[in-house]
């Protein structure tokens, strides 16, 4: 095929070195701006030779379409925003990977923001995201700020809260009970003969819910209450080592430890080995998250399994369904959890 180039195709810079616009691309390709838009959004509706000219002009200018402007015209940006408390820890990685894959399969893109376990920062981030009018918003945890809840409801944007349960979700929810996890781990360790058990825990709201339930179940069984060792999020192996050291310095009778993440649990396991404690002979350790490293640790780590893949897929399907005018039922899903027993207990 022979392509006749128009004179504008030799122009490789826009006036004032500003970003190229769709009008610039149209001039270079020798077509109208409407034709460029059609070539980018519905190429099957454009003649083959015209499509080639437009694509060549786009390549020459490195033109990137304004997705926001296009989305406003169609009332949809095909964009979902996800708020994470941290981008450092791997605990939410499985959920985000599944969310991204599921959205991509439905021709949506994912944008991620970090709130840093800070309610005020989360409110600021929510306001900034709402202004960009995504098709849906995923929040890790539940939105506790009344300001944030009002802003989300007023926006009309579909919202899925995750990784937690509440009787009053903003919109939709996919999660599990942290209180039930705290209770279940105590029962598991108690059934294995442990009577002096404690926690190494983060101090965020979800972790504190597990601590409260853990302590209440310990008390209900008539066992000695041992104060937890708290660490600041995000969890690291180093903070797990320091947490166990603090815990045993206060109460050396501890025979079982529940850590609020697998990273803390791996750190506790390393610290136990360093100070000469056999795991699980002298100290049982339970983590949370069932991250990839848990099964490969030495010894392999008993952990609370959260199906992050299921959370991500369900959340994506719910958001897309609502974004495209459909309904979602049920709008609240409790995915539960399981305790994966390995050699650390």
The yes/no answer on whether domain 178-305 falls in CATH 3.90.850.10 is: no
> Would you mind telling me the total number of residues written for the chain in this entry?
345
- Listed by start position, the domains of the chain span 7-65, 77-176+308-335, 178-305
CATH number of 77-176+308-335: 3.40.50.2300
pTM: 0.78
The CB-side HSE value for 56 (13 A sphere, CA atoms) comes to 19
User: Which CATH number, 3.10.580.10, 3.40.190.10, 3.40.50.620, 1.10.260.40, labels domain 7-65?
Assistant: 1.10.260.40
Q: Which helix (H) or strand (E) holds 293?
A: helix 292-296
Q: Which residues contact 84 (CB under 8 A, 6 or more apart)?
A: 92, 96, 112, 113, 114, 115, 140
Q: What is the mean pLDDT of each run of 10 residues along the chain (345 residues)?
A: 35 55 90 88 89 91 64 68 84 93 95 85 89 93 90 92 95 97 98 98 94 98 97 91 97 97 97 97 97 94 97 97 94 97 98
Q: How far is Cα 189 from Cα 8, in angstroms, rounded to an integer? A: 75
Give me the residues paired with residue 174 across strands: 162, 333
Q: How far is Cα 77 from Cα 132, in angstroms, rounded to an integer? A: 9
At residue 71, the pLDDT reads 52
Give me the residues paired with residue 172 across strands: 160
Give me the residues paired with residue 155 across strands: none
At residue 86, the pLDDT reads 83
For the stretch 263-301, pLDDT in tens is 999 999 999 999 999 999 999 999 999 998 999 999 999
Residue 322 in tokens:
């609502």
At residue 239, the pLDDT reads 96
Q: Is 178-305 the same fold as 77-176+308-335?
A: yes
At residue 10, the pLDDT reads 36
Q: How far is Cα 215 from Cα 179, in angstroms, rounded to an integer? A: 10
Identify the CA nearest to 271 among candidates 180, 282, 218: 282
Residue recorded with tokens 């797990």: 240
């Amino acid at each position: 095929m022979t392509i006749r180039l128009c004179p504008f195709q030799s122009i490789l810079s826009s006036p004032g070195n500003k970003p190229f616009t769709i009008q610039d691309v149209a001039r270079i390709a020798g077509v109208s701006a409407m034709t460029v838009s059609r070539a980018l959004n519905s190429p099957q509706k454009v003649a083959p030779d015209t499509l080639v000219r437009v694509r060549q002009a786009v390549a020459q200018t490195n033109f990137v379409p304004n997705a926001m402007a296009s989305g406003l015209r169609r009332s949809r940006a095909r964009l979902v925003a996800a708020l994470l408390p941290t981008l450092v820890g791997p605990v939410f990685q499985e959920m985000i990977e599944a969310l991204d894959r599921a959205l991509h399969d439905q021709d949506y893109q994912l944008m991620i923001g970090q709130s840093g376990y800070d309610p005020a920062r989360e409110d600021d981030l929510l306001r900034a995201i709402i202004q960009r009018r995504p098709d849906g918003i995923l929040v890790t945890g539940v939105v506790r700020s009344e300001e944030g809840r009002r802003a989300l409801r007023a926006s009309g944007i579909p919202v899925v809260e995750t990784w937690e349960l509440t009787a009053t979700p903003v919109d939709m929810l996919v999660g599990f009970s942290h209180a039930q996890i705290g209770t279940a781990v105590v029962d598991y360790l108690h059934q294995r003969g442990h009577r002096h058990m404690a926690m190494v825990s983060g101090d965020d709201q979800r972790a504190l819910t597990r601590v409260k339930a853990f302590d209440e179940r310990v008390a209900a069984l008539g066992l000695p209450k041992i104060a937890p060792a708290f660490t600041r999020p995000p969890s690291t192996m180093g903070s797990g080592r320091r947490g166990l050291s603090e815990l045993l310095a206060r109460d050396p009778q501890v025979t079982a430890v529940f850590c609020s993440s697998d990273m803390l649990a791996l750190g506790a396991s390393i610290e136990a080995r360093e100070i000469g404690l056999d795991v699980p002979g002298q100290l049982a350790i339970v983590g949370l998250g069932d991250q990839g490293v848990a099964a490969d640790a030495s010894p392999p780590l008993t952990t609370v399994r959260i199906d992050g893949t299921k959370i991500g897929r369900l959340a994506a399907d719910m958001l897309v369904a609502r974004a495209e005018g459909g309904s979602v039922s049920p709008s609240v899903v409790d995915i539960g959890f399981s305790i994966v027993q390995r050699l650390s207990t």
